[in-house]
Structure formats: C-alpha cells, structure tokens
C-alpha cells in the first residue's frame, strides 16, 4: 500500500528525528522510477517533486498519476510526498492541487517582502482548502534552474524570516544561506552562522534549495542545525545525461530508447541513494 503523505507530516517527523528528507526533481518516467526505487532500497521517506516546467511538459494530472502509479507498480511502502517545486503562478498551484498534489511550494521570493507575503498567503489559503501543505521561500538563490533564475543572491534575514513566518504561516520555509541553482561542482560553502540565527527565530522546518553544489560536510552540519528538506535536481540531471551520452557513444546505431534510458535511470537511482544517506534519512521510513 502506497503511503502518500503531505509535506508537513513528513518534515515534522524529520525535525523530531534530526534528519532531512531529500526532495528530488522528476522529469520523466525513468527519473520517477529511479527516485522511488532508491527510496525503497534505502528504506527512506522521499519527496518526488515537479517544477513548473515539468508541469507544462507533462501536465499536472499526468505528473501526479504517473508518480502514484509507479509507486504502486514498484510496491513502494515508504512514506512518499508528491510536491510542486517553485510554483510561481497561481494557475499552476490550482492545477496541481486539483490533480491531487498533497503539497505545493509557492515561490514569490523575487518580489518585495510585502508582495511575497501577500501572494504566498493567497497560495496558502488555496492550498489549505485542499488540505495540502505549503512551502514558502524568503531570500533569493543565485543561478538558474528551469524557470527560476537570478544573477545575484539575497541571503535570508533572520528577523525578516520570523516576521514572514508569523504572517504567512507556511509549513516550512526555504532559506538562502549560500547555495545556488545549477552548480555542477561541490564548491559552495554555506553560511552556517546565518542558519543558526534563522533557527533561533523560526521554529518550523527549514529547507535547503540548490544543494547540488554545496560541500557535503556543510550539508551534514546544516541538517544538524535544522534543515529538514534538501532539494536535489542538478546532480540528477548530470547523472542521467552523462549515462545517456556514454551509452550513445558505445552504441551510436542503437535506436531502442530502452537500451540507453535504462542505464540512465540506474545512474539517477545511485545518485538519489547517495543523497539520502547524506540527508540521514536512510532507514527512517
């Protein structure tokens, strides 16, 4: 029996257990299979999340139904959340909630503080009509991932975070503490002192976006300081595309998609399992 749960439930348990749950972006059947197989192998809770670009590519209902169907086919028994990542349009939020998503992120972080509060509150009100969990974001990450792009970072201010949470009342808060979107090498150092200060002001679970380029020792420390959800996309794309290129180079005349998509799926599964161990969620299902 598939255990579909909301983000709030998943992260409250993670917060109490002092570990983080990996949130892995999916873009097709193979990446969904890889994430769910990794979760079952690691006995880890998991978040399969879809960006607005993936929603446009496949459709909200297809994303939700596909993730749920794969979980049933793979006989996944670990807790699973299907989540909208970086929703920036209310129409996307509505589509995902109508499709059955138990959790959404609304990202108005590029707007002025008052506008971020106002628009995120609107999304939260809508989500709670469906009984769905809400992730919000305060601060801006540098880099690019699908529709989310910024040349400059804006770190999360701890006192603003306290005010934001009191006004919006999200179930978790994504923070900017030095990570960035789209980094392919582990070169980013986190502002752990800032994270400590945010944790003192905010009691809800905290989220780390753009983790692919972060130094792993910093990620472990961040988990110990209150990060309960860690987003992962770029390293999965790299694993998939590198394996795909390798297979095509070995067999340039191969036209059976399954022959080179299978190894790409396996490479993503390996990357997800490694990240689950880094999060400390293995064996926590």
Confidence of residue 141 (pLDDT cuts 50, 70, 90): low
Active site residue 85: yes
CA pair distance 47, 4, nearest whole angstrom = 10
Is 43 a residue whose pLDDT tops 80? yes
> How many domains does the structure of the chain reveal?
1
pLDDT digit string, tens, across residues 266-275: 999 999 999 9
Q: Which of 65, 85, 218, 233 is labelled catalytic?
A: 85
Cα Rg, the chain, nearest whole Å: 18
Asked if the structure places residue 174 within a domain, the reply is yes
Confidence of residue 168 (pLDDT cuts 50, 70, 90): very high
% of the chain residues with pLDDT over 70: 92
pLDDT digit string, tens, across residues 174-207: 998 877 644 555 667 889 999 999 999 999 999 9
User: Exposed e or buried b for every residue in 221-256, given b needs 16+ CB within 10 A?
Assistant: ebbebbbbbbbbbbbbbebbeebbeebeeeeeeeee
pLDDT at 142: 57
Which neighbouring-strand residues pair with 174? 137, 207
Mean pLDDT, the chain, rounded, equals 91
pLDDT at 154: 77
Asked if the structure places residue 45 within a domain, the reply is yes
Asked if the structure places residue 241 within a domain, the reply is no
Better pLDDT: 74 or 188: 74
Q: How many alpha carbons fall within 13 Å on the CB side of residue 111?
A: 14
Asked if the structure places residue 227 within a domain, the reply is yes
Confidence of residue 47 (pLDDT cuts 50, 70, 90): very high
- CATH number of the domain encompassing residue 51: 3.20.20.70
pLDDT at 82: 98
**Residue 116: which residues within 8 A CB-CB, separation 6 or more?**
108, 109, 138, 164
pLDDT at 153: 60
Better pLDDT: 2 or 4: 4
Asked if the structure places residue 230 within a domain, the reply is yes
Asked if the structure places residue 137 within a domain, the reply is yes
Q: Domain containing 213: what range?
A: 3-234
pLDDT at 277: 97
Percentage helix, strand, coil, to 5, in the chain? Answer: 50, 20, 30
Asked if the structure places residue 40 within a domain, the reply is yes
Asked if the structure places residue 223 within a domain, the reply is yes
């Amino acid at each position: 029996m598939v255990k579909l749960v909301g983000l709030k439930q998943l992260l409250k348990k993670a917060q109490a257990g002092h570990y983080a749950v990996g949130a892995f972006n999916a873009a097709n059947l193979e990446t969904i299979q890889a994430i769910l197989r990794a979760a079952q192998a690691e006995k880890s809770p998991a978040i399969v999340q879809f960006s607005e670009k993936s929603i446009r590519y496949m459709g909200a209902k297809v994303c939700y139904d596909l993730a749920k169907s794969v979980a049933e086919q793979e006989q996944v028994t670990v807790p699973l959340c299907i989540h909208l990542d970086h929703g920036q349009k209310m129409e996307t939020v509505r589509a995902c909630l109508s499709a059955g998503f138990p959790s959404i992120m609304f990202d108005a972080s590029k707007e002025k503080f008052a506008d971020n509060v106002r628009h995120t509150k609107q999304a939260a009100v809508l989500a709670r009509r469906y009984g769905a969990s809400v992730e919000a974001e305060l601060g801006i990450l540098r880099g690019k991932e699908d529709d989310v792009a910024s040349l400059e970072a804006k770190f999360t201010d701890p006192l603003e975070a306290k005010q934001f949470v009191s006004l919006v009342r999200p179930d978790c808060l994504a923070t900017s503490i030095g990570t960035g979107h789209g980094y392919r090498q582990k070169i980013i150092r986190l502002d752990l002192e800032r994270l400590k200060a945010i944790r003192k002001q905010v009691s809800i679970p905290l989220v780390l976006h753009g983790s692919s380029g972060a130094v792993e020792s910093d990620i472990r420390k961040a988990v110990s300081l209150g990060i309960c959800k860690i987003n992962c996309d770029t390293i999965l794309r790299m694993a998939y595309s590198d394996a795909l290129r390798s297979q095509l180079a070995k067999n340039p005349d191969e036209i059976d998609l399954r022959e080179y998509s299978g190894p790409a799926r396996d490479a993503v599964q390996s990357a997800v399992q490694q990240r689950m161990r880094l999060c400390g969620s293995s064996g926590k299902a």
